[in-house]
Amino acid sequence: MTDRTAELTIGDQQLELPIIEPTIGNDGLGISSLRNITGDVTFDPGFANTAGTRSSITYINGAEGILRHRGYSIEDLALNAEFLEVAYLLLFGELPNQQQLAEWNSGIAGHALVKEEMKRFFDAFPNNAHPMAIMASATNAISTFYEEYHDPSDEEAVIESAIRLIAKMPTIAAWSYKKSMGMPYNYPRSELDYVENFLHMMFHLPTEETKVDPVIARALNVLFILHADHEQNCSTAMVRGVGSSRANLFTSVAAGISALWGPLHGGANQQVIEMLKTIVEDPEEDAQSMIARAKDPDDPFKLMGFGHRVYKNHDPRAIVLRTYADDVLATVGVSDPLLEVAKELEQAALQDDYFIERKLFPNVDFYSGIIFRALGFPSRMFTVLFSIGRVPGWIAQWKEMTEDPETRIMRPRQIYVGKVERDFVRLADR
Ligand code: ACO
């Protein structure tokens, strides 16, 4: 809090609102006392202009396309770091030294197994269950094995839970996939690192010797880093919201997975591929017809992978992915007509007045699916991959929230526009 204030006049009432200063970025107008003094509330659908917290984890400048975690640029992290290093950075605020990283990695590796009873849980789902539904349910379900770690104010228990969650996420994800394919589950192996283990559990078959391709492992590492955190996005806001009621970390993260599944959020990566496939496979559709549909006010269709609440110039993650898509496809020797169509669609949209006026650019989901596809993942797994990447961010944000003395249970107000008061009408008289 600083001494700077802003003045608000409502009728003949004058209010001095404190200005909350950032280290960088937007000032905040403190309106907490507004309702008590004036009886009014603020109205901000989707909280598009509302800061619900102070945070020192991730900084985004949407006008300039900047994304930094704890001060480090996303480009720098994606190029130089390992995913678990970034997870440590998000959680603890600093990059780990060699010893810290070794301990962190081995702590996580030691918790990669899920309880054997969980197999029955996976088995209970129908074979065609969407892996995101299984992920969200399984994340909640594993909380039942660790009830003694549920207290958000027990620092040690929180770190233990964080390690367990990060460690078990690839196992849960791979088992969700194996379940959906009717294939046997693979166990994690201690000689493999985090990403290699996930690839092993995803693709190993008992019928043949399989080896994890280091190129694919590195590419997935980069993709996980690019998804690791994104300040107060929809799923993170849900994780914080659930956690604000002092619900445990597992359950809060399960809520984040559910929110991420939606096609306007992380689910967009699967939808982008469906859209590009339609263009390739349907002779009636092309980039222009998709753009025309997206612009039609009577059609709910949106150009998937385009637009962002915060980025109004470019999404730096999409820029990294665009070039990376070419590299990965060339390295793994895949030529995908969808990449050409994606580039064509991007160019057509970027030259279209509708998209220019609304500052709509490709977001992280536009190119990620093409890379996931080239790495051998089916499209129903794309949002699952996003969620593995996002888990450290959700945990860091949840931890920051529980440690923040300003935290209150999330409970927005409303503007009531329903009936004022009515007498009950008995069933026989209706
Ligand atoms: N295609 C067509 N029109 C769009 C698109 C799009 N992809 N995105 C936004 N618009 C239009 C809106 O219709 C609106 O037009 P209007 O002013 O004429 O009413 C205008 O652009 C502003 O868009 P809003 O929906 O108000 O923006 P908001 O910040 O609420 O939504 C969102 C952002 C949800 C990402 C939106 O752009 C969208 O639906 N994009 C497609 C889905 C997608 O790619 N989601 C992934 C986002 S990244 C992530 O979550 C990881």
Mean predicted confidence (pLDDT) in 304-316: 94
- Whether the per-residue pLDDT at 333 is higher than 90: the answer is no
Q: How high is the mean pLDDT of the chain? A: 95
pLDDT of residue 209: 83
Span of 1-10, 157-166, 347-356, 395-404 with lowest mean pLDDT:
1-10
Tell me if 153 sits within 8 A of 179, measured CB to CB. Answer: no
Tell me if 382 sits within 8 A of 261, measured CB to CB. Answer: no
Tell whether ligand 1 has an atom less than 6 A from the beta carbon of residue 308: yes
Tell whether ligand 1 has an atom less than 6 A from the beta carbon of residue 305: yes
Tell me if 390 sits within 8 A of 337, measured CB to CB. Answer: no
Instruction: Give the pair of three-digit tokens for residue 181.
Output: 């394919």
197-203 long-range contacts (CB < 8 A, ≥24 apart) are 197/109, 197/112, 197/170, 198/170, 198/173, 198/174, 198/388, 201/170, 201/171, 201/174, 201/175, 202/173, 202/174, 202/177, 202/178, 202/377, 203/376
CA torsion 156-158-164-167 (nearest 10°) is -100
CA 10 to chain centre: 39
CA 51 to chain centre: 18
- Whether the per-residue pLDDT at 331 is higher than 90: the answer is no
pLDDT in tens, 36-64: 999 999 999 999 999 999 999 999 999 99
pTM for the whole structure: 0.95
Residue located nearest, by CA, to atom 14 of ligand 1 = 358
Burial class (CB in 10 A: 0-12, 13-18, 19+), 345: buried
pLDDT of residue 332: 86
Instruction: Give the pair of three-digit tokens for residue 359.
Output: 């500052």
pLDDT in tens, 205-262: 999 888 899 989 999 999 999 999 999 999 999 999 999 999 999 999 999 999 999 9
Tell whether ligand 1 has an atom less than 6 A from the beta carbon of residue 246: no
340-347 long-range contacts (CB < 8 A, ≥24 apart) are 341/276, 341/279, 341/280, 341/287, 342/272, 342/276, 342/366, 342/367, 342/370, 344/287, 345/276, 345/279, 345/287, 345/290, 345/291, 345/303
Tell whether ligand 1 has an atom less than 6 A from the beta carbon of residue 388: no
- In the Cβ-directed half-sphere of 322, how many Cα atoms lie within 13 Å? 18
pLDDT of residue 2: 63
Q: Which of 304, 309, 354, 358 to mutate to test the pocket of ligand 1 (most atoms within 8 A of CB)?
A: 358
Would you give the DSSP letter of residue 12?
T
Measured between alpha carbons, how far is 201 from 170 in angstroms, rounded to an integer? 8
- Whether the per-residue pLDDT at 1 is higher than 80: the answer is no
- Whether the per-residue pLDDT at 89 is higher than 90: the answer is yes
Mean predicted confidence (pLDDT) in 272-282: 95
Query: What single letter denotes the amino acid at residue 127?
Result: N
Confidence of residue 93 (pLDDT cuts 50, 70, 90): very high
Measured between alpha carbons, how far is 108 from 15 in angstroms, rounded to an integer? 51
pLDDT in tens, 175-194: 999 998 889 999 999 899 99
pLDDT in tens, 110-160: 999 999 999 999 999 998 899 999 999 999 999 999 999 999 999 999 999
Among residues 294, 282, 383, which one has the least CA distance to residue 341?
282
Catalytic residues: 308, 365
| 149 CA to centre of ligand 1 in angstroms | 39
| 398 CA to centre of ligand 1 in angstroms | 26
CA torsion 294-376-83-173 (nearest 10°) is 90
pLDDT in tens, 375-398: 999 999 999 999 999 999 999 999
Cβ partners under 8 Å of residue 34, min gap 6: 8, 15, 17, 40, 41, 42
The better pLDDT of the pair 353, 323 is held by 353
Tell whether ligand 1 has an atom less than 6 A from the beta carbon of residue 299: no
